Every structure is written in structure tokens, then in C-alpha cells.
Structure 1
């Protein structure tokens, strides 16, 4: 099998895990969420990752989410899954991803114990080499990757990209200048639009977009403006949309997930507000603030209607 050893570029879709009020995975809503992201032109689907509340999923739920993602995308864009945390579970979920036809997986950091760089190297290497799928390593929270660790991972053909959720620009500069195009570089900050203009000059070509679950056309307009150097539009979207949403996200731990569901609900997507512990739904006052922000966002940046062709 000839595998394309390159990570997806552009705006990456991270569907949620929609739960009913009785805490069951809503398969139909998940399928709709993924189809919406496809219809909006996102370049890849990353299912059962942090936005999909990966740490709270059972094996059965994980399998269902991967099945739905592979089925709905139907080869139109790459499908990546989330693996990580517990090393044994990671290896099991990596095998499930391969068996169900995913294109690769995002390896989340190990749980609780950071480990030394040598331990991190073998953690990521062991998971990446366990299948022939593409692997993206993710540094975030208390996990950062050294040059020596990435030198070892550069020898593993399955490792195609590094995703950054730390925001340490000195480290990002060091890594991108050291490894260049050996890896693709993905921005994985909690609200990646905030930092993307700073990441692009370093060679970051992709980012995970939480707001694309509910206002994807604004995320697209923002990214296109960043790439084209349209600083006026970039600044307008910053002030009217991105920074106000980010201000709410920073109010509580876990809002990086629950705020997505609130945004989708406000924009008419019936996903509900149910999240799994320790994450909590957003508070009533913050929901009301989000409603105001999104109303203003749509007024300032309405979605363009497709041009109808004349027969």
C-alpha cells in the first residue's frame, strides 16, 4: 500500500462528541457535525480528539465515532483519530483506527506523568510504529519536545507532523528551523485563530479550528486574510469575533470544549450542552455573552451565498 506521508494542510475540523441528556453518544448528531464540516470545505476530520472528549470515551463509543467519521467522509478528506494518554489504550485505539480505515492519528500527550525526554521519545515512537498509519505528535500542557526527541522521531516514517499547543514561540522557532519540511507543523492552541498570524511565518500550514464547528466561514475568511496579508480584515475579525470569544474561553477550565457546544447550539445545531466530567457546561451569563458575540459576528461577516449558475 502506497501511503502519502504528509499531514493535511489548511483548516482542520475537530467534531465534538454529542451526548444526549442521558449521557449517550448521539450518532446522528455526530454524523451531521462531520457532514457540516465537509460541506464547509474543511481539509481534514480529526475525530475523537480533545474536542471530542477523548479521555471520557468508552472503547465502544470510540469505535462508533471512528466508523461514523470514515463513513461520512467517504474518502473526500483524510480522517485522523485521537490516541494517547494511557499507553496500552493508545496502542489498542491505534489498531482500531487502522482496522476501520482511518488515515492517521493525533498522538495526545501521556496522562499525568510527564516523563523524561527519553520516555516521551519512546512513548510517541512506540505508538507511531504500532501501525502503518500517519502519526502526528502533540506537545501541550506540561509536555514539550526537545530537538533530540524529534531527531529520533524524524527517523520514524509514520511521524509526519508536530502539533503545538504550548505557544512557546522560542521553542517553535527552534524546532521549525531545525527540522524544516521534515515535519508538517500544526497550530493546536485552544483557539488557534488567536495565534495563527504568528505561526504562519514559521511554516505552520494548518490549524485546528474550534469555531469552524459553528462559524466556519469566518474562520476561513480570517485564514485567507492572514495568508493574503489583508491586515485590515484580520484586525476586524480579531476585534469583532476572535478576541471576544477567546475572552469567554479563558474564564473557566474546560471551556475550550463546552464553548464549542454552546456556539453550535446558538447557531441552530441541536447538539445539546451535555459534557462529561470534569468538564462543565458554560455558565448562563457566558452563554448570553456568546449569543451576543455570534449575532454581531454574523451581522459583520455574513456568509456569502453561492453564485447560481445560469443554465
Structure 2
């Protein structure tokens, strides 16, 4: 990989889009969300992506979120944005990201349509080449890449990373073997801690952690234990925290985002248990279940911050 185009590794921070009682973007809550992630040692900030309800925010809110990210990070960590949707919108967001001085962007999949392999390559290529910023390819839903597709994309200097949100390990082996360390590999599965042990041997050195928004000490302890072969701690955290939260997450569609906000509210961050349609807030019974797991996360595991 070009040394001038390094991509963040480790635990990647994905802030939410907090909304107030009037369903407006809560700028102070977002600032605190980002500051909290940085103070707890996360290596990068990805603003306006899936956890940030990319599908539901306006263009003005999107731009404001980037400004707040700059204000909160103070150049301490790289900032990446989410760009996607129809091709013209994605390019416009990429160009805005470059104008705003971020480090790069995550190319989200186009919506409502399923393209061919070559169509997906063209979509990603046009967005990646619209600026000189770093581009990270996101394999998810309707964008499944073959090794031939990825080999085409890595000829573009701006394409520096690959994030997988599908979990097809046979495909991931084919892709990593075909491209090797030309790209930085990231695990983007929902509740990525669940699958991270399977990704590390393939060269995936970073992952997006939803739970880092409210229990970052668990994210850090889990990942450090995983990297250092501390199987006992990994097993304990799986049993006590990660798998119980994952079980709650699977109870309703959209909980991958809504559960983050509920967890943040539980730990006292100024984020309400509200999401924009078509997502729905976490139900009361599931909220109480999450609260019980979070209590275990603090009672049993010491709070470790960077």
C-alpha cells in the first residue's frame, strides 16, 4: 500500500446521529459522542455512515455532522465520511467531503437496485476517482465483489481499503488471497466482535465496533485479548457481554442502529432512544435486557480508557 494512503486499523468509531425532541440533529450530543470515542482510544471516526443513519439525514445535516467531527477530533484521528445512494449523490458527497478536508470516505452501496459485477465496479470507480481522497469499498447487501472485480478496483490509487459486511468467508478468502496487502481489510459485520476471530487470520486488522459508543472498555479489552491470545478473557466477554447483546440485536430489524442509541442513553450519554423511520426505537423489554448486560459489563470488567 502507498505509504501516503494509510487507512485506519484497530477499533473504528462510528458515531450515531442524535436527534432532539423536535427530531432535529442534536449537535451537542454528537460532539459528546465523538469526544467520548476519542477519549476512549478509538483510532478513527467514520461520520454519517450506517450507525449515523445515512439513509435518513438531510444534506444540511450531513454537512453539519462533518463540521462537528472536525471540531470534536481536533485532528487527533482521521475522519472518514459515508457516501452512497444514487451515483450523482454519492459523487456530490465525495466532493463535499474533499472540500471539508476529511481523510477519506466509505463508499456505501447504491440503494433499490442490484447491479451487475461490472456495474458495481463502475459505480465504485466513479465515486473513488471523483476526488483524491482515500476510498474504502464496502461489500454489503447488493454489492458483492468477485476477485476479478476487486482486481479492477485496486488499479485505482484512491481505493485503499475494503470493508466486509456480508460474512461470506469463502469469498473473503478468495479476495484477500487475490489482492493481499494492497488493501487494508476491515470487518464491518453487525456486532463485529462476534466474528472478529474468524477475520484476523485473513489479514483484517480493523473493525467497526457498535458497542464502543457506550462500553468502549469492553471493545478494547476484547480486541486486545483476542490479539494476544487470551482465550479465557475472550470467552468470558463473549458469554457475559457480546453474545447477550447480539441476541438482543437480532430481535428486531434495525436494532443494529437503535440498540446503539439505547445503550448510550443507558450509560448517561445525551442520546435519546429515538431513530428516524423506517427504523424504530428499542422496545421496553429489550431495553431492560440491554441495561442488565451493560451493568455486568461495568460490574465485572474494570473500566479501562486510553
Find the aligned partners of 1:280 and 1:303 in 2 and give their Cα distance.
31
Give the C-alpha shift of residue 85 in structure 1. 1.5
Moved over 6 A (4+): none
Residues 119-198 of structure 1 correspond to what in structure 2 (within 5 A)?
119-198=119-198
Instruction: Quote the RMSD (CA, aligned, Å).
Output: 1.2
Residues 32-51 of structure 1 correspond to what in structure 2 (within 5 A)?
32-51=32-51
Alignment check: 8 A CA contact 2:194 2:242 kept: yes
Alpha-carbon displacement from aligned partner over 1:209-252 (angstroms, at most 9, x marks no partner) = 00000000110000001100000000000000000000000011
Alpha-carbon displacement from aligned partner over 1:267-303 (angstroms, at most 9, x marks no partner) = 1112011211100001110001001111111111120
Alignment check: 8 A CA contact 1:21 1:274 kept: no
Residues 173-252 of structure 1 correspond to what in structure 2 (within 5 A)?
173-252=173-252
SS of the residue 2:261 aligns to: helix
Find the aligned partners of 2:114 and 2:43 in 1 and give their Cα distance.
32
Alignment check: 8 A CA contact 1:79 1:104 kept: yes
* Structure-2-length-normalised TM-score: 0.98
Say if 2:70 is the partner of 1:70. yes
Q: Which residue of 1 aligns with 2:54?
A: 54
Evaluate the alpha carbon distance shift between residue 305 and residue 186 of structure 1 in structure 2; reply closer, same or farther with a 3 A threshold. closer
Find the aligned partners of 1:284 and 1:273 in 2 and give their Cα distance.
10
Alpha-carbon displacement from aligned partner over 1:76-110 (angstroms, at most 9, x marks no partner) = 11000000121111111111100011000000011
Find the aligned partners of 1:91 and 1:249 in 2 and give their Cα distance.
32
Give the C-alpha shift of residue 304 in structure 1. 3.9
Give the C-alpha shift of residue 266 in structure 1. 0.5
Find the aligned partners of 1:176 and 1:53 in 2 and give their Cα distance.
29
Find the aligned partners of 2:146 and 2:236 in 1 and give their Cα distance.
37
Q: Which stretch has the larger CA shift, 181-190 or 268-277?
A: 268-277
Q: For this pair of structures, how many residues does the alignment match?
A: 305
Evaluate the alpha carbon distance shift between residue 3 and residue 226 of structure 1 in structure 2; reply closer, same or farther with a 3 A threshold. closer
Q: Which residue of 2 aligns with 1:309?
A: none
Structure 1's unaligned 5+ residue stretches are 307-311
Find the aligned partners of 1:287 and 1:32 in 2 and give their Cα distance.
22
Alignment check: 8 A CA contact 2:40 2:305 kept: no
Give the C-alpha shift of residue 176 in structure 1. 0.6
Alpha-carbon displacement from aligned partner over 1:18-67 (angstroms, at most 9, x marks no partner) = 00121100001100100011100100000000000001111100000001
Alignment check: 8 A CA contact 2:151 2:178 kept: no
Find the aligned partners of 2:305 and 2:138 in 1 and give their Cα distance.
37
Give the C-alpha shift of residue 143 in structure 1. 2.0
Q: Which residue of 2 aligns with 1:286?
A: 286
Say if 2:54 is the partner of 1:87. no
Q: Which residue of 1 aligns with 2:29?
A: 29
Say if 2:254 is the partner of 1:254. yes
Alignment check: 8 A CA contact 2:135 2:161 kept: yes
Alignment check: 8 A CA contact 1:162 1:185 kept: yes
Give the C-alpha shift of residue 305 in structure 1. 7.5
Structure 2's unaligned 5+ residue stretches are none
